[in-house]
Structure 1
Amino acid sequence: MIEVRSLHNPIITTSDVKPSRPDFKVLGAFNAGVASCGDETILLLRVAEAPISTEPGELLIPILNETDGKVRVERLALDDERYDFSDSRFVAENGKMIMLTSMSHLRVARSRDGIHFTIEDRPALFPQGVLESWGIEDPRITAIGSKFYITYSAASIRGVGAGLAETEDFKVFKRHGIMLAPENKDVMLFPEQIGGKYYTLHRPVPHSFGAPEMWIAESEDLIHWGKHRFLMGLRPGEWDGGRMGGGAVPFRTERGWLALYHGADTKHRYCMGAVLLDLKDPGKVLARSVRPFMQPEADYELNGFFGGVVFSCGALLLGETVRMYYGAADEVMAVADIPLQDIFDTLSYEEPLI
C-alpha cells in the first residue's frame, strides 16, 4: 500500500451522528466535502437517515412534502409483489427505481486537528422543493475568494441534478438552485479562474447510448454554464471500466491541475485514481492513473452499507502530502495521508487520453 490510512479510522461512524428526529436512525455518515476555514477543518457530511421500523415484514420510506419541507413516513409490506426490494438502497417497480429507502441531508463537522471532529446536531442543508425530494448528497466544496461554493447531488423522481450553494462561515448558507439538470452528478468547481473563466468537472449520465463519463464546462459567473466538452471516458476491463466521476476539487501543481476521481469496475468495486489536466486549458488531459492509488482493503471499506467502496468528495493539499477524506462502504468517514509523489507515480503520459 502506498497510502497511509489514519490509525483513528473510521474517524466518523453512524453512532457519532445524532438523527435529525427521534424516530429516525442514521444509516451512513460519509462522502463529505472538505474545506479549511480559519483554524478549522470542515467536513460537510452526507448523513443518510431512515425511519425506525418496529414491525416485522415492513419497510418504512421517508417522503418529503415538497410544499412545507416536512418529511412523512410511508409503509410498504415486504411481501408486496409489486415491488423489488433486492437492493437495500432503493425500491423498484417494473424494473424502475421509484423511491429511495433513506433520505440524505448535509451536516457540518468541525475539527482543530483534522482527525477528531465535533458533529453538529442539526442539518446544515436539508432537502428542499420538488427537485430535492429524495435527498441531497455527496457535496464538494471549493474556496473562491472569501466564499465557499458547495456543489451537491439533488435527487428526486426527476433524476439526479447538481445543486449549488454558498457560505462564508458554514453557519449561514445561500442556495442557488439547480446548477446542472439531470442526469448529472460528481460536480466540482476549480478553485480559481483560468483565462478569465470558471471551470467545473461534471458527470452526465446518458440513457439511450453513451456512458457515465467525465466532462468539463465553463462559466463567467458560476451560475450559467456552457461550452461543455467531453474530458475522459471509461476503460473497459480496467479498474475504472464501469463508472467514474470527479472526487476532490482539483489542486494546482507545477505539473498541472491534479484531480482525484473515483472509478468502479463492473462488479461495483470503487477505487480512487487521478488525472492531470493542463494548467491553461483544463479540458486537456495530460496523464491519467493506470492503477488506483487507493482501493478498498480495510475492513471498514470492504464491509458496510454498500461494501467494497472508497469514495472521496474532498481532500486538502498539505505541502507535499494529500490528506484525502473519503467515504468507506457508503457508511463511515475515513482519512488517509498520501504522498503527492505516490499519486504522480500512478500516472501514465502514454495512455490514450480519452
Structure 2
Amino acid sequence: MKNYQFNRLTDQPIIRTSDVTPAIDDFEVLGAFNPAACFIDDEIVLLLRVAEAPKPKKGLILVPLLEEKNGVPTLTVREFAEPDEDYDPRVVTIQGKQYLTSLSHLRLARSRDGLNFTIDEKPFLFPARMDESYGIEDARITFLDGKYWITYTAVSEHGPAVGLAITTDFRDVERVGLILPPPNKDVALFPEKVDGKYCLMHRPMVSDIGKPSVWFADSTDGIHWGNHRFGFGGRGLQDKKFAWEGGKIGGGPEPLLTDEGWLVCYHGADETHAYALALALLDRDDPTHVLDRSEVPLLTPDLPWERDGFFPNVVFANGWVRWPEGTAHAGKIWVYYGAADSGVGVCELV
C-alpha cells in the first residue's frame, strides 16, 4: 500500500459546536461532529451529527426521546431525580433502563471551498420512528446508481441499529428504514457493485466473546442483506505495538477505489477509549481479502480541541471527498473528521 499520510489543513476546527443553532426550543447544542461528506453541485455537503439536550434543571436528569402518543412517535422530555452518587452524564440507568441524555439528528452544511461552511438551521433528518427514539447518529454517504445512499446509526432502547435513507439532491429524502438490526453500526456502502452485488461494511457490537470488528455483507437490492463475513479486527491483543486499536475498530467513510484496490479508512480505539485513524487496502474483487494495513495510526488526537470535549481524545472519520476534475483541488482527497464529539476538522490524504 502506498505510504499514505493524513496532513491537517488547519490546526483549528472548521466547525465548532458554537456554530450550530439548536433545532428544538429550550434545548442547547452539546456537539456538532462526525460528518458524512460528498461532492454535489459544485460544493461539498456535510451531514453533521448534532447532539442536543434540554437546558439543565437543578436536581433533575432530563431525557429527550420519542414516545408513542396515540400511535405517533412524539418528542418528549422525561424528568428524573438526580441520584446522590456519581453517574455518567451522557448515559444514565434509571430503574434498570438505560437512557441517553442527548438526542442526535443529522444537519446539512455546505461549502464551495471545503473549509468555510454554511450550516442549515433545521435538521435534514430528525428521529421520526420508534427505532430512532434515542436519536440518529454518524451517517455515511455513498453515491451509487445515480443516488446518494445515507446509512446512519438509529438508536433506541433496544440498542443501535442501522437505518437507510436515499436522496438525489439533499432536499427531498426517502427514509427506507432499518437495514440491519441491533446491535450494529459503522455501515458504509461500496460505491459500485462487487461481483454483481451491492456490498457494505458493518460493525456488529460483540460483547462477551470477541472484539468489535469490520464485517462485510452483500445484497441484490441494497436493502436486504446477507452473506455476512468477517473482514478484519484490531491487532492489539496479539501485538502491543497495535495497542492503539486494541479496544475495538470500525469502518469509516465509503471505500475509495484506487489502482491498488479498495482503500478503507477506519478508526481504532485503545483500552482507554482514545480513538485514532488508519487505513486498510482491500482486494478489488474480494473485499474480505485484506492486502495491507497501517502499521501506525495516521491521525491521533493531538490538538487541544481533539483531546478535550464532550467525549475526549477522539478523532473519528465517517466522511471523505475526492475532489472531481475541473475543481481547484482536482484529485485530492479531503478527510472530514469529528474531534472529541465537539467539532469538525479536515485533513488531506497524501
TM over 0.5: yes
Of 244, 260, 264, which residue of structure 1 is paired with 2:265? 260
1:203 has 2:203 as partner: yes
Match of 1:44 in 2: 47
Q: Which residue of 1 aligns with 2:286?
A: 281
Distance in 2 (alpha carbons) for counterparts of 1:92 and 1:270: 25
Q: What residue in structure 2 maps to residue 23 of structure 1?
A: 26
Answer yes or no: is the 8 Å Cα contact 2:153–2:160 preserved in 1: yes
Q: 2:65 aligns with which of 57, 63, 66?
A: 63
Letter in 2 for 1:132: E
Q: Is the 8 A contact 1:9 1:335 kept in 2?
A: no
Structure 2: runs of 5+ lacking an equivalent: 324-329
Give the Cα separation in 1 of the matches to 2:248 and 2:44. Answer: 30
SS of equivalent residue, structure 1 residue 287: strand
SS of corresponding position for 2:245: coil
2:123 aligned partner, one-letter code = P
The question of 1:90 aligning with 2:94 is answered: no
Following superposition, the deviation at residue 338 of structure 1 comes to: 2.5
Kindly state the Cα deviation for residue 8 of structure 1 after the two structures are TM-superposed.
6.6
CA offsets 1:96-124 (integer angstroms, 9 cap, x no match):
66100100001111111111111111111
* Matched letter for residue 201 of structure 2: L
Structure 1 residue 75, shift from structure 2 partner: 1.7
- 1:330 aligns to what? 341
- Counterpart residue number, 1:241: 246
The 5 A counterparts of 1:122-137 are 122-137=122-137
| CA contact 2:282–2:289 (8 Å) conserved in 1 | yes
CA distance change for structure 1 residues 145 and 210 in 2, over 3 Å: closer, same or farther?
A: same
Match of residue 78, structure 2, among 56, 74, 77: 74
Over the aligned positions, Cα root-mean-square deviation in angstroms equals 1.7
Q: Is the 8 A contact 1:90 1:97 kept in 2?
A: no
- Once residues 341 and 251 of structure 2 are traced to their aligned partners in structure 1, the CA distance between those partners, rounded to angstroms, is 17
Q: What's the CA shift for 1:143?
A: 0.4
- Could you tell me the percent identity over the aligned residues? 48
Q: C-alpha distance in 2, partners of 1:107/1:2? A: 29
Q: How does 1:113-124 map to 2 (within 5 A)?
A: 113-124=113-124
Q: Which residue of 1 aligns with 2:187?
A: 187
For 2:179, give the aligned amino acid.
M
Q: Which secondary structure state, in structure 2, belongs to the residue aligned with residue 244 of structure 1?
A: strand
Output the CA distance in 1 between the equivalents of 2:12 and 2:122: 24
Which residue does the alignment assign to 1:13?
Answer: 16
TM-score, structure 2 normalization: 0.91
Q: State the 1:210 CA deviation.
A: 2.2
Q: Which amino acid aligns with 1:300?
A: W
Deviation per CA, 1:262-286, whole angstroms, max 9, x where unpaired? 0000010100001100011111111
Cα pair 1:8 1:115 within 8 Å, conserved: no
What TM-score comes out, normalization by structure 1 length?
A: 0.90
- Cα distance in 1 for residues equivalent to 2:160 and 2:335: 25
What is aligned with 1:298?
A: 303
When structure 1 is superposed on structure 2, of 64-73 and 180-189 the one drifting more is: 64-73
Q: Which residue identity is paired with 1:62?
A: P
- Equivalent residues of 2:10, 2:346 under 8 A apart: no
